[in-house]
Structure 1
Amino acid sequence: MGRLKLAVIALVAVALSGCSPVDDSDIKRLALPVAGSDRTDEVWNVWLGAWIACLVVFLLVFGLMVWCMVRYRRRSDDEVPAQVRYNLPIEALYTFAPVIIVAVFFFHTVTAQNAILEDVDHPDHTIEVVGSKWQWAFNYLDEESTGGEDVYAFGTPDHPAELVLPVDESIRFELKSPDVIHSFWIPEFYFKMDVVPGKVNHFDVTPTETTTDYDGIGSDDPQDYYVGRCAELCGLYHSRMIFRVYVVSPEDYQAYLTSLQDKGQIGRPDGAAEADTIAGLDTEGAEH
């Protein structure tokens, strides 16, 4: 039986060794989107490990079922075997094996979570994200190309907001909400975080793949952008609370911020100020 287990594990490892989060094939990515940030490796490793564990358990259980059906099948001259009420070794296995599996998953999940949430000492850019019913606003803070003036972009359910990011430069997202809990999610970054009223959540990330150039910002071609979403059921138009993410070169990013300044989109929308107040209490939320 020991050799059988080793053979199963080796077979699964060989089958999954060609998988990659940046492969063009959905099958080789194990149904995940193409990885687009520096925080995806940890999630990929947990995801791949989960697939390996599931396949190993499936093959072992299914193999044991087939083996028992063949080995202990009823023959014409067989007597009915003695019936027992329990089998202590088997029941101990059924009890401890799942506990061990869950403990291993828990350990790797916490390890990956700590790595993903690790802050960058001095992020290159800071973007304030305001999620409200049912739209997004993005405030670009203290950028050199705008002379230190804050500029913003916003959207509506009919016209999704556009979030433009520079490739290979670190970004700190500060998340706020003036109304209900939302969740900021870019699937290609393999990460999401809740946007909670009265509280400032944040995380750091570096995009690693460009989606378009400056001329492609605003394009309706799905190849030119990622689709960001709200991942928390937040009300009537939750499903329409989406935004587009364009990852461009640093030069195109600075040109985009200048274009916002030229349009007069300077400062922060009112929603950002309201997001600092807990609704109904008129008190500022604690920043974390």
Structure 2
Amino acid sequence: MSPTRRSARRPLARRRVPRAAALALLLVSATACSADEWSRGGLPGAITKQAETVQNLWNGSWIAALATGVVVWGLILWSVAFHRKKKNSKDELPPQVRYNLPIEILYTVVPIIMVGVFFYFTARDQNYVNAMTGQAPVKVKVEGFQWSWRFTTDYNGKKVEVVGKPVSDYTQGPQLVLPVNQKVEFDLVSPDVIHSFWVPAFHFKRDVIPGVENKFEVDTLNKPAVYAGRCAELCGTDHSRMLFNVKLVPQAEFDQYIASQAGAQ
């Protein structure tokens, strides 16, 4: 092999090394997630029945989107493979096909059906997530203020109030204790600016607006643990420090908590 050819191949080989390394890094990153994380599509684990509904809608949306993508990519690759210009052909366009009525009906009707189905499931699940029964045994008044939270839990006529302050770690913020397997009603109020009450494990957030009393209900699952919460609306200087946590506990522990803390603040 001549020196000229060797020198020409060296830059090409050098370019391939970073590309191969980047591909290897991508593959390692893609396989770092567990099967459970992949099944959730990047969402945190659900801790309410409403969150499970949102999770199912999310998964279904991704499946539909990927199925559509596979069909579109397949058609593109098929066109590239079987309708490319032949090596020995002249500079003439391939045969042009116009006004194929069955195909035009297909690519008009199918998207309409897909959008209709997606709209139906979205509206159905949205109605379920927003439903209010007014019969929740546990009621929590959530007051978002610059820049922390006040939680007032009302259960069997006893009230427990927790007031927080700006913190840098959600574990140090005010803690909202809730029982597992119970329906909980949240009443959201604010005395100053718009905040947003967000517990990622709820797969749900709702704005806390001055002069507006927003409400929602959840049915907690039997998953005792401590979960992060934060404000999701830019509300001022210490917005990033409006952190809190939600602790799900067994019913017996919740009863003991209410009995020991009621009126203590």
Give the shorter-chain TM-score range.
Answer: 0.7 to 0.9
- Find out whether 1:119 has 2:137 as its counterpart: no
Q: Distance in 2 between matches of 1:163 and 1:54?
A: 37
Look up the equivalent residue of 2:93 and give its one-letter code.
Answer: P
Q: Normalising by the residue count of structure 2, what TM-score does the alignment of the two structures yield?
A: 0.76
- Find out whether 1:108 has 2:109 as its counterpart: no
The answer (yes or no) to whether the contact 1:177–1:198 under 8 Å persists in 2 is yes
- Find out whether 1:34 has 2:35 as its counterpart: no
Q: Distance in 1 between matches of 2:105 and 2:191?
A: 52
Look up the equivalent residue of 2:161 and give its one-letter code.
Answer: Y
Q: Distance in 2 between matches of 1:134 and 1:97?
A: 49
Instruction: Quote how far apart the aligned CAs of 1:96 are.
Output: 5.7
Structure 2 residue matching 1:198: 3-state secondary structure: coil
Q: 2:62 aligns with which of 51, 72, 92?
A: 51
The answer (yes or no) to whether the contact 1:136–1:161 under 8 Å persists in 2 is yes
Instruction: State the structure with more CA Rg.
Output: 2
- Find out whether 1:190 has 2:191 as its counterpart: no
Residue by residue over 1:191-235, the C-alpha shift from the partner in whole angstroms, topping out at 9 and shown as x without a partner, is 221111111111111211333xxxxxxxxxxxx410012122222
Instruction: Quote how far apart the aligned CAs of 1:46 are.
Output: 1.3
| Counterparts in 2 of 1:181 and 1:64: CA distance versus 1, 3 Å | same
The answer (yes or no) to whether the contact 2:158–2:258 under 8 Å persists in 1 is no
**Percent identical:** 38
| Counterparts in 2 of 1:88 and 1:24: CA distance versus 1, 3 Å | closer
Look up the equivalent residue of 2:208 and give its one-letter code.
Answer: V
Q: 2:88 aligns with which of 77, 81, 90?
A: 77
Task: Map 1:1-288 onto structure 2 (within 5 A).
Answer: 25-79=36-90, 80-81=92-93, 97-141=110-154, 143-144=155-156, 148-158=157-167, 159-211=172-224, 224-261=225-262, 264-265=264-265
Look up the equivalent residue of 1:81 and give its one-letter code.
Answer: L
Instruction: Quote how far apart the aligned CAs of 1:108 are.
Output: 1.5
The answer (yes or no) to whether the contact 2:40–2:55 under 8 Å persists in 1 is no
Pairs aligned (count): 226
Q: Distance in 2 between matches of 1:24 and 1:210?
A: 19
The answer (yes or no) to whether the contact 2:159–2:258 under 8 Å persists in 1 is no
Look up the equivalent residue of 1:55 and give its one-letter code.
Answer: L
| Counterparts in 2 of 1:103 and 1:134: CA distance versus 1, 3 Å | farther
| Counterparts in 2 of 1:233 and 1:152: CA distance versus 1, 3 Å | same
The answer (yes or no) to whether the contact 2:40–2:59 under 8 Å persists in 1 is no
Structure 2 residue matching 1:26: 3-state secondary structure: helix
Structure 2 residue matching 1:205: 3-state secondary structure: strand
More displaced 10-residue stretch of structure 1: 96-105 or 252-261 = 96-105
Structure 1 gaps, min length 5: 1-22, 212-223, 266-288
Q: Normalising by the residue count of structure 1, what TM-score does the alignment of the two structures yield?
A: 0.70
Instruction: Quote how far apart the aligned CAs of 1:122 are.
Output: 1.8
Structure 2 gaps, min length 5: 1-33
The answer (yes or no) to whether the contact 1:134–1:237 under 8 Å persists in 2 is yes
The answer (yes or no) to whether the contact 1:126–1:171 under 8 Å persists in 2 is yes
Please identify which structure carries the higher helix content: 2
More displaced 10-residue stretch of structure 1: 39-48 or 168-177 = 39-48
Residue by residue over 1:51-110, the C-alpha shift from the partner in whole angstroms, topping out at 9 and shown as x without a partner, is 111111110111111101110121123242258697675677666654543333222111
Structure 1 residue matching 2:222: 3-state secondary structure: coil
Instruction: Quote how far apart the aligned CAs of 1:124 are.
Output: 1.2
Q: Distance in 1 between matches of 2:109 and 2:232?
A: 35
More displaced 10-residue stretch of structure 1: 78-87 or 178-187 = 78-87
The answer (yes or no) to whether the contact 1:24–1:34 under 8 Å persists in 2 is no
Residue by residue over 1:132-175, the C-alpha shift from the partner in whole angstroms, topping out at 9 and shown as x without a partner, is 1111110012x33xxx3432001111241101000011111111
Q: Distance in 2 between matches of 1:192 and 1:29?
A: 18
**Cα root mean square deviation, aligned:** 2.5
